[in-house]
Chain A
Amino acid sequence: MGRIRQLPPHVVNQIAAGEVVERPASVVKELVENAVDAGATRVEVRLVEGGKARIEVRDDGCGMDADDLAAAFLPHATSKLADVGDLEHIASLGFRGEALASIGSVARATITSRPAGADAGAVVEDREGAVTCVRPAAAAPGTVIVVEGLFAGVPARRKFLRSAATELGHAVETMERFALAFPDVVFVLEHEGRTLVDTAAGEGRRARIGRFHGDDLARALLEARSAPGAAVEVEAWLSPPGLSRADARLQQVFVNGRFVRDRTSLHALREAYRDLVPPGDRQPIVFLFVTCDPARVDVNVHPQKAEVRWRDASAVHESVRRTLRAALEGARPGVPVAPWERPGVPRSTVEAAEWAFTQGAGLPVGAPSAPRGPAWPGGGDHLPDATADVAVSRAASPAGGASAVASAGPGATAVSGRERLRPVGQVLGTYLVLEGEDGLVLVDQHALHERVLFDQISDRLRDGALEVQHLLVPAVVSLSRAEVARVEEERGTFERLGWVVEPFGEGAVAVRACPAVLRRPDPEGMLREVLAVLDTGRRSGLDRAALLSAVVDRMACRGAVMAGDALHPDEVLALLAQAEALNHAHSCPHGRPTRLVMSRRDLERYFHR
């Protein structure tokens, strides 16, 4: 009897604060959101002790008059929603009317505000739940909110705050996200008198990325933009293939200016990078901005509004994937002009260079470094005189791997030229050795051929003109009955992929034709792999395009020359020539690199010359 009581409002607010206010950075987030919603063009944040002691947010927004201030600390009081219908299309960052009440319940908060055009301002204070009367005060147009002694009255929460430096780091991250989301607003962050963030108005997102992550990285990023007028507009700054990070921290998604962890977009961006980034441990860098009608997205699903729910997730997925992919395919992966990551990394690195290649030109006359190659191992033939002309574009875009470094070295200007590659031989039956203009190039023959095949088959599939070589004697492959049934079922798919497969008695199929581009058609191995891919793909619900891509991937892998296959010099030249036409010749479809460059400088350093 009488055990259930309605909680007093300040306790309710403290509980709500548990969800909304976690640490100083979340206070900063809520207050800056309000400032942006108020139409501020300049937002200044000043922190003391990482925000644990004092947080001040000053904006030049529309401000609040005395009446507004009186209601500001009330729970569920907001100017941003009027009725439930407004929840369907939330255009502002905040909307619940919880933030100020929550903050006021766990700290001493003071709001001083003066609406634009008003003669004077007013001030109101909330001391851990006790709201004072609104008093007139001197104020500049806009709003200043000061929050002091966060969690001073809630020791349980205060205990969980980290060091000032850590809390400050979170605050900086929060400011960074606002700065990227709203390039037209100036954001300033000062900590105990030191300016940590200072942005200029209208400098654009690339410049802002540069401020936070370094200009070299910012310069290296590609820019992607969906067609104007699309229902879901996508804008992104993304790493070219070959440039990646070990973690996904630099995959940031903003939906209508709000930083969110959106699984749909993140999945779409991974799909866009499919076969361009090594699997598992490497992550591309993407700053993604999705803009759409607020009615298409529900932001009211997470207390900190860190997630969204799409009305039509697949349209968003497709729009993001296609926009990013188009930018990646148009990219000419190149080599950075200067090292952008930490200095001191080893210089012999995988160069994400473009292979542009023409064959047949002889060695430059009198080239100082052009001795005849030794006899090709295995064949005993001498190398043909034909020299590979490989143009390596050194445009300003970064190299592959975390530690990519151009041989150009710091301070060098961008060089765009053609590099001649001279095949020297094959080592370990696996790597092609080429002499470039500035050092040694090693090529993984399997990886490169795999990439060549993958692209060729994909291209042909797109054009619907894959050449099919019929076999004189069909290859008979024994399969389980279930597998035979699957083959029957997927016969159309196989045919589209260039395989003519027919049932051949019980428990066997006959392969009558295979794609002409495969160098080592292995019908049995291929059939089994393709069935396996189709099976797992089905089970995990891959769509048709992804499934085909996975199958082509397997075909390219099985059909490519293997490590250990001896290659005739002519085959090497042909392979390099084919790499010319590719966009992503620097990595195999699984994202493994295809080439390693050791510059003259690397070699000289090693040999102490």
Chain B
Amino acid sequence: MRLNVPTAPLLEAVGLASAVAASKSPKRILECVALRASRADGIRVEASDLDVTIAMRLDAGEVVEDGVVAVPATRLVSVLREVGEGRKDLTLVGQGGRLEVDTPDCQFRIHGEDPQELHPSEAFPGAAAATLPFSVLRSMIDRTQFATAREPGRFALHGVQFRFTSKELEVVATDGRRLAKAVHPVASGPATELKVIVGTKPLALVSRLAADPTAQVEVAVHDRRIYFRVGRCLLSSRLIDGAFPPYEQVIPQSSAKGFVAKAERLATALRRASLLTTREMRSVTLDFGPNLLVLSSRAPDVGEAKVSLEVPYTEAPEKLGFNPDYLLDALKVMDPQADVRFEVTSARSPGKLTAGDGYVYVVSPVSVTE
């Protein structure tokens, strides 16, 4: 194998591939990034830790001699970063399972693994279940994945659910105490509803697949794997088994008890009101009064805080407590200038934040025993 490639796109692709490769595995091939070169098909950079697989085709570059080589990801990244600095192109030579990277003043021979052991290359499976702008998908992921469960147990909730219908894509995450849901219309979804759960690690990588916000991303599900294709990149991931609880019922119907405020204002008030809470006593009481929201907290040995916020609220007064972190988590991922509607129904039912563009966030309240 012999190829000449421009440094920047190569580094970018290898960097992404190395994020997929296993950091430590008894099967050393899983720690490797593979470079495939063929005059017919161009240059491909691949990696897989079996759960997640990525393949990228480079736009530029010249293949002098076909071949394939697989070398440890961390070694390859550090070598390319060093020699790539200030250099437009690099010449890579694969020979006898080793990758040679030569510049006039440096010669590197990186020992690799047998390419025969590589995970077979994947192809995008047939028709997409959803096609949407990449920037929209990225925002849907960003605004939901933080709500996944972290504690052990309830494995399904460690992932984000993708629900494909003929009209829309719905992305949901919940840890049983709060729930985030983002919906976006799609043109040609599957005829029958399809629900799958995807882990957070592949989703973090999906967000890095493209730099161009106008690019379109195609999503497909096949054989217990989900596929994301953006331009010349293809990422696939094993799905998480299990099912989400019937979450639709817990999203409260629209309630008149609510108000609209800028995300930033609400977040600031909450942050201030939670300054004197502790990890063990972490709740802020929200007192809905006429045109005024009073946020207060009290922690023994620490102190108390009270923050007032003028809001257009005209319904009957209501009072309930929340873990401020849960509300802030959502406000942080919203556009600070976005108008957010905050609704409650009663002291023991969930509060709801909506952002108007198909985003809904539901938080269960915190109460205090008598």
Q: Is the CB of B283 within 8 A of A471?
A: no
Counting CB contacts under 8 A, is A205 at the interface? no
Question: Please, how many residues of chain A have a CB less than 8 angstroms from a CB on the other chain?
Answer: 32
Q: Within residues 264 to 305 of chain A, which ones have a CB less than 8 A from any CB in chain B?
A: none
Identify which of A496, A565, A578 contacts B369 (C-beta below 8 A).
A496
Chain B residues near A475 (CB, 8 Å)?
A: 176
Counting CB contacts under 8 A, is A387 at the interface? no
Q: Is the CB of A473 within 8 A of B153?
A: no
Please indicate which of the listed interface residues A469, A475, A497, A520 has the most CB atoms of chain B within 10 Å of its own CB: A469
Q: Is the CB of A513 within 8 A of B153?
A: no
Chain A residues near B174 (CB, 8 Å)?
A: 472-473
In the complex, residue of chain A having the shortest beta-carbon distance to the beta carbon of B365:
A470
Chain A residues near B282 (CB, 8 Å)?
A: 467, 516
Q: Is the CB of B350 within 8 A of A516?
A: no
Chain B residues near A495 (CB, 8 Å)?
A: 369
Q: Is the CB of A471 within 8 A of B369?
A: no
**Cα–Cα, bound, A569→B25 (Å):** 23
Chain B residues near A468 (CB, 8 Å)?
A: 366-369
In the complex, residue of chain A having the shortest beta-carbon distance to the beta carbon of B247:
A473
Interface string of B191-205 (1 = CB under 8 A from A): 000000000000000
Q: Is the CB of A469 within 8 A of B369?
A: no
Q: Is the CB of A463 within 8 A of B152?
A: no
Q: Is the CB of B151 within 8 A of A472?
A: no
Q: Is the CB of A471 within 8 A of B176?
A: yes
Interface string of A458-492 (1 = CB under 8 A from B): 00110111111111110100000000000000000
Counting CB contacts under 8 A, is B178 at the interface? yes
Interface string of B303-331 (1 = CB under 8 A from A): 00000000000000000010100000000
Closest Cβ of chain B to A474, distance in Å, is: 9
Q: Within residues 290 to 349 of chain A, which ones have a CB less than 8 A from any CB in chain B?
A: none
**Cα–Cα, bound, A498→B367 (Å):** 9
Chain B residues near A498 (CB, 8 Å)?
A: 369
Q: Given A466-B368, A470-B348, A472-B179, does the pair A520, B153 have CB atoms closer than 8 Å?
A: yes
**Cα–Cα, bound, A577→B279 (Å):** 10
Chain A residues near B153 (CB, 8 Å)?
A: 520, 522
Question: Please, how many residues of chain B have a CB less than 8 angstroms from a CB on the other chain?
Answer: 32
Counting CB contacts under 8 A, is A116 at the interface? no
**Cα–Cα, bound, A475→B245 (Å):** 9
Q: Is the CB of B177 within 8 A of A471?
A: yes
Counting CB contacts under 8 A, is A162 at the interface? no
In the complex, residue of chain A having the shortest beta-carbon distance to the beta carbon of B350:
A472
Chain A residues near B362 (CB, 8 Å)?
A: 472
Counting CB contacts under 8 A, is A456 at the interface? yes
Chain B residues near A471 (CB, 8 Å)?
A: 176-177, 364
Counting CB contacts under 8 A, is B281 at the interface? yes
In the complex, residue of chain B having the shortest beta-carbon distance to the beta carbon of A378:
B23
Identify which of B177, B280, B283, B300 contacts A472 (C-beta below 8 A).
B177
**Cα–Cα, bound, A475→B366 (Å):** 17
Interface string of B323-360 (1 = CB under 8 A from A): 10000000000000000000000001010000000000
**Cα–Cα, bound, A466→B321 (Å):** 13
Closest Cβ of chain A to B364, distance in Å, is: 4
**Cα–Cα, bound, A562→B151 (Å):** 10
Counting CB contacts under 8 A, is B246 at the interface? yes
Counting CB contacts under 8 A, is B105 at the interface? no
**Cα–Cα, bound, A521→B369 (Å):** 17
Q: Within residues 501 to 533 of chain A, which ones have a CB less than 8 A from any CB in chain B?
A: 513, 516-517, 519-522
In the complex, residue of chain B having the shortest beta-carbon distance to the beta carbon of A498:
B369
Counting CB contacts under 8 A, is B370 at the interface? yes
Interface string of A553-580 (1 = CB under 8 A from B): 0000000001001000000001001100
Q: Is the CB of A467 within 8 A of B366?
A: yes
Chain A residues near B279 (CB, 8 Å)?
A: 574, 577-578
Q: Given A380-B23, A519-B151, does the pair A470, B178 have CB atoms closer than 8 Å?
A: no
Counting CB contacts under 8 A, is B250 at the interface? yes
Interface string of B149-189 (1 = CB under 8 A from A): 00111000000000000000000001011110000000000
In the complex, residue of chain A having the shortest beta-carbon distance to the beta carbon of B349:
A470
Chain B residues near A516 (CB, 8 Å)?
A: 282-283, 323, 366
**Cα–Cα, bound, A519→B300 (Å):** 21
Q: Is the CB of B151 within 8 A of A470?
A: no
**Cα–Cα, bound, A576→B51 (Å):** 35
Chain A residues near B300 (CB, 8 Å)?
A: 463
Q: Is the CB of B152 within 8 A of A513?
A: no
Q: Is the CB of A467 within 8 A of B151?
A: no
**Cα–Cα, bound, A463→B369 (Å):** 10
In the complex, residue of chain A having the shortest beta-carbon distance to the beta carbon of B281:
A467
Identify which of B152, B179, B369 contacts A520 (C-beta below 8 A).
B152
Taking beta carbons and an 8 Å cutoff, which residues of A are in contact with B?
A: 380, 456, 460-461, 463-473, 475, 495-498, 513, 516-517, 519-522, 562, 565, 574, 577-578
Which 6 A-B residue pairings sit nearest by Cβ, starting from the closest? A470-B364, A473-B245, A520-B151, A466-B369, A472-B250, A468-B367
A-B contact pairs, 26 of them (CB 8 A): A460-B369, A466-B368, A467-B281, A467-B282, A467-B366, A468-B368, A469-B323, A470-B177, A470-B367, A471-B176, A471-B177, A472-B174, A472-B177, A473-B245, A473-B246, A473-B249, A473-B250, A495-B369, A513-B367, A516-B323, A517-B280, A520-B153, A521-B151, A562-B152, A578-B279, A578-B280
Contacts A464-B370, A498-B369 given; 5 further ones with Cβ under 8 A?
A: A467-B282, A472-B177, A472-B179, A497-B369, A522-B153
